[in-house]
Structure 1
Amino acid sequence: MSLARGKTVPSDDAAHVLVVDDDSRIRQLLAKFLGTNGFRVTGAADATEARQKLSSFDFDLLVLDVMMPGEDGLSLAGSLRRGSDVPILMLTARAEADDRVRGLEVGADDYLTKPFEPRELLLRINNLLRRRSSAEPKAAPVETIAFGRFVFNVKREELREGDEVVRLTDRERQLLTLFATSPEGTVSREALAGPEAGVGERSVDVQINRLRRKIEDDPANPLHLQTVRGVGYRLRFE
């Protein structure tokens, strides 16, 4: 099992994978490989440690080894499946068809036999996550948000203060739309900068300050558009 060169560094909102395997070398290899491909990775050496991690963190996907000391992966998968729909990918050194069937019967979503090519594991993980995302019900799109005496219509990209339309630049409309459509109105500095060349964090700060002058009574002490230290900015709306 060789490692491919990674492409990205995992962010705080990256998918979180729990790798459960009694082989420390495999845990370390997968942590490095998946980490450099944009995932957050936590390892566990057995089912007991896995349950401890599961009680402390929310994971987006589990990679479980079948053969482990104590409770095996099949038992753990079956137990977890009774109370969770988190995607489970089983790893095993066994190639027999009946073991693959047992894994699927207890609720595993996919199966990979050791030794395996890490790139295939990555593809299977991405497929499982896409499948889960497409199956999740989509939230109703946000139409308007209100903060203080202002109302922003997301569809029309129009900001009103009472009956008056507030003039916005194209960039300010983009910023308000990002805040309105983000969980809890919080957006990272990187997301606010976007992919456009020349839009760095300093430029984002300047744009935020300009927007604050239009929606805050005291831009130096903002009530609506607040700084989230170490993350970015948050628009507090109703």
Structure 2
Amino acid sequence: MIKPVQPVADDAPHILVVDDDNRIRALLSRYLTEQGYRVTTAENAASGRARIEALAFDLLILDVMMPGENGFELARSIRAGSEVPILMLTAQGNATDRIHGLEIGADDYLPKPFEPRELLLRIGNILRRAPAVASEPARDSVSFGGFIFHVGRGELQHEGETIRITERERDMLRLLVEAPGETVDRFALAGPASDASNERTVDVQINRLRRKIERDPSNPVYLQTVRGSGYRLVVDP
């Protein structure tokens, strides 16, 4: 006998699953609903985009290999105007595809097949900071060059203009400003769900962040590399 799914709270995080596999959509919808999430599904990029335009989501789970517009293309178009967290879900688990997804702006990347609990942990790692950020008042800020990073609300500004950054970039900036001028190793920047084999993706995310804050990303002044160790952020006195 199938156990009935309990009602989900109206204020529970809302997740959009975009996957052309009917079975995967049904399984993820039921599993995540059982875990207390609100879930909406879409069978392709076009229907996913329509749902995004009509509803507000806390996280997007995008399959890469879809007919027509694939997940990478959909993620790129979404990231052009939104910082909603994106988790890429695909059978292509090699490093090249993982790095490509992160370069586009995805926050995480999980290859198929996967353990449902691992997916749940990764979702939690992406979402767990959102309530704290929303409820924490603006407090300390750190400046470097013409940029100001507001630690409390995780906002980066340049000359009064807000610079769009991803959740991963926001997390890395928080770690770096907690130890201004000091080295933060790659493993710490990779996040709690990563291991040493994934630290290469940190370099990709750092380079992406440099393109937003450095005049010459190839010769960084503020976000500096500490060879063989990690990175440090040089802030104003």
TM range, smaller chain: 0.5 to 0.7
Structure 1 length normalisation: TM-score?
0.54
Distance 1:26 1:36 in 2: 15
The equivalent of 2:169 in structure 1 is none
Residue 28 (structure 2) aligned to one of 30, 42, 48: 30
Distance 1:108 1:84 in 2: 11
Code of the aligned partner of 1:69 = P
Mapped pair 1:122 → 2:114 = no
The equivalent of 1:39 in structure 2 is 37
Distance 1:136 1:83 in 2: 20
Alignment of 1:138-149 (within 5 A): 138-139=136-137
Mapped pair 1:15 → 2:13 = yes
Contact map agreement 1:31 1:42 (CA 8 A) in 2: yes
Task: Give structure 1 regions of 4+ aligned residues with deviation exceeding 2 angstroms.
Answer: 5-9, 131-140
CA-CA distance at 1:13 after TM superposition: 1.0
The equivalent of 1:61 in structure 2 is 59
- Give the CA RMSD over aligned residues: 2.0
Gaps of 5+ in 1: 141-238
Distance 2:4 2:82 in 1: 30
The equivalent of 1:81 in structure 2 is 79
**Rg larger for:** 1
Gaps of 5+ in 2: 139-237
**Aligned residue-pair number:** 136
Structure 2 length normalisation: TM-score?
0.54
Compared with structure 1, are the counterparts of its residues 8 and 125 closer, same or farther at alpha carbon in structure 2 (3 Å cutoff)?
Answer: farther
The equivalent of 2:224 in structure 1 is none
CA-CA distance at 1:7 after TM superposition: 8.9
SS of residue matched to 1:90: strand
Contact map agreement 1:7 1:37 (CA 8 A) in 2: no
Mapped pair 1:72 → 2:80 = no
Code of the aligned partner of 2:75 = A
SS of residue matched to 2:128: helix
